[in-house]
C-alpha cells in the first residue's frame, strides 16, 4: 500500500538479491545470443578446398610409399654428411678407438632429439657389426633410457647382443655447461676417433665442436637450431643443414616406408612452391584470382 516500506533484513541480503538479478539478466542475454548465432551446418563448405588439398597430399604420400614398397628405386639427393657415416665408423675401427655420439640438450619429446635417436640406431647397427665401442653421454635421464633400448635392439638385430654394454650409455647432468664440460673432458681423455653431434644444441655447440676438432676426431654435426649451424660448419667436417637432419634416418636405413614418406613430402612441397610461383606471376599481371581464392579459404 501507499506509504508502506519494503522490509529488508540487512544490506547483505540486498546485495545478494541484486547479484542474483544481474546474473539472471546476463544468462538470459547469453542464451538469446547463443540461439541467434547457432550454426547448424555439419560441414563448412568454405573449407572444402583445404579438405581436397589434404586429400591430394595424403594420396601423394601413400602412392610414394606404395611405389617404394613395390621395389622401385626412389631418387634421394646425395647428402655428403650421411655418406661419411661409414667412413667415420670405419676410421674409428681401424684406429682401435671409440665413437662418441652426442644427442644435444633436447628432451625425449623434442623433434630434433627424436631424429637424432633414429640416426643413432643406424650408427649403432654399424658399430655392432664392426665391434667398435660406442659412447653416448646423455643430458636427460629419460632420453638415456630410450637410447639404451634402441641401441640394445640395434645390437640384437645385428646378432651381437653380447657386444652391447649398457654402461657406455649414461646420464651425465642436466646442467647445460656442466654437461659441455663433462663431455669435453671425456673427449680429451678418451680421444674418440669420430664424434657425432646430432640433435638440439645451444650455446655449448662451439665448445663441443672445438674440443672435438682439437683432438683430431672426424665430426659429423646436425641441428635444427639455425643460429648454431655456423659454428658447426666452421668446426666440423660435415654438417647436416635444415631438414637433412630429419631425412637422415630414411637416407641411412633405406626403409621403403620412410623413403616413400620422404618422397611424398617433397612432392607436396613442390606443389605448394608451384602454387606460390603461379600466384606471384598472376599478381604481376594484375590477376588477383589466386589471392582472392586463398583469402576465402584460409
Q: What is the pLDDT of residues 267-287, one digit of tens each?
A: 988 998 998 899 899 888 888
Nearest to residue 156, comparing CAs of 129, 136, 138?
129
Which residue carries 654428411 as its cell?
A: 81
Strands (E), the chain: 99-104, 134-138, 169-171, 194-200, 218-223, 238-240
pLDDT at 164 over 90: yes
Q: Indicate whether 36 pLDDT > 60.
A: no
> How far is residue 71 from each of residues 64, 187, 257, 259, measured CA to CA in Å?
11, 43, 11, 11
What are φ and ψ of residue 170, in 5° steps? -140, 160
Per-residue pLDDT of 123-137, as tens digits, reads: 999 999 999 999 999
Quote the CA–CA distance of 238 and 223 in Å, as a whole number. 12
Q: Give dist(CA 146, CA 160) in Å, integer.
A: 19
Nearest Cα to Cα of residue 264 among 61, 77, 72: 61
State the pLDDT confidence band at 70, using cuts at 50, 70 and 90: confident
- pLDDT value at residue 297: 67
Considering only residues 126 and 30, tell me which one the structure prediction assigns the higher pLDDT.
126
C-alpha span between 94 and 45 (Å, rounded): 64
Is the sign of the CA dihedral 155, 157, 158, 159 positive or negative? positive
The CA distance from 269 to 255, in Å, is 21
Q: Decide: 297 and 46 in contact? Cβ < 8 Å.
A: yes
Residues β-bridged to residue 200: 104
Q: Check: CB of residue 225 under 8 Å from CB of residue 104.
A: no
pLDDT of residue 22: 47
Q: Which residues pair with 220 in a beta bridge?
A: 196, 238
Question: 21 — phi, psi (to 5°)?
Answer: -65, -45
Q: What is the distance between the alpha carbons of residues 112 and 104, in angstroms, rounded to a whole number? A: 9
Amino acid at each position: 500500500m501507499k506509504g508502506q516500506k519494503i522490509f529488508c533484513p540487512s544490506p547483505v541480503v540486498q546485495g545478494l538479491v541484486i547479484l542474483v538479478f544481474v546474473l539472471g539478466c546476463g544468462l538470459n542475454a547469453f542464451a538469446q545470443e547463443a540461439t541467434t548465432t547457432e550454426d547448424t551446418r555439419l560441414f563448412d563448405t568454405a573449407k572444402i578446398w583445404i579438405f581436397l588439398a589434404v586429400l591430394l597430399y595424403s594420396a601423394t604420400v601413400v602412392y610414394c610409399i606404395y611405389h617404394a614398397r613395390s621395389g622401385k628405386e626412389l631418387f634421394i639427393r646425395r647428402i655428403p654428411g650421411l655418406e661419411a657415416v661409414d667412413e667415420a665408423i670405419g676410421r674409428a675401427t681401424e684406429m682401435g678407438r671409440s665413437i662418441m655420439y652426442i644427442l644435444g640438450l633436447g628432451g625425449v619429446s623434442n623433434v630434433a632429439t627424436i631424429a637424432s635417436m633414429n640416426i643413432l640406431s643406424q650408427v649403432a647397427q654399424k658399430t655392432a657389426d664392426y665391434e667398435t665401442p660406442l659412447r653416448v653421454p646423455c643430458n636427460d635421464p629419460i632420453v638415456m633410457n630410450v637410447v639404451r633400448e634402441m641401441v640394445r635392439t640395434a645390437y640384437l638385430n645385428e646378432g651381437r647382443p653380447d657386444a652391447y654394454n649398457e654402461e657406455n650409455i649414461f646420464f651425465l647432468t642436466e646442467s647445460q655447461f656442466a654437461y659441455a664440460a663433462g663431455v669435453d673432458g671425456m673427449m680429451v681423455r678418451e680421444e674418440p676417433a669420430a664424434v657425432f653431434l646430432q640433435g638440439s644444441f645451444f650455446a655449448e655447440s662451439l665448445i663441443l665442436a672445438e674440443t672435438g676438432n682439437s683432438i683430431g676426431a672426424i665430426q659429423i654435426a646436425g641441428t635444427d637450431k639455425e643460429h648454431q649451424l655456423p659454428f658447426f660448419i666452421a668446426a666440423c667436417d660435415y654438417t647436416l643443414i635444415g631438414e637433412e637432419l630429419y631425412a637422415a634416418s630414411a637416407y641411412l636405413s633405406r626403409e621403403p616406408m620412410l623413403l616413400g614418406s620422404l618422397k611424398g613430402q617433397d612432392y607436396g612441397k613442390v606443389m605448394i612452391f608451384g602454387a606460390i610461383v603461379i600466384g606471384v606471376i598472376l599478381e604481376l599481371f594484375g590477376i588477383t584470382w589466386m589471392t582472392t581464392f586463398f583469402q576465402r579459404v584460409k
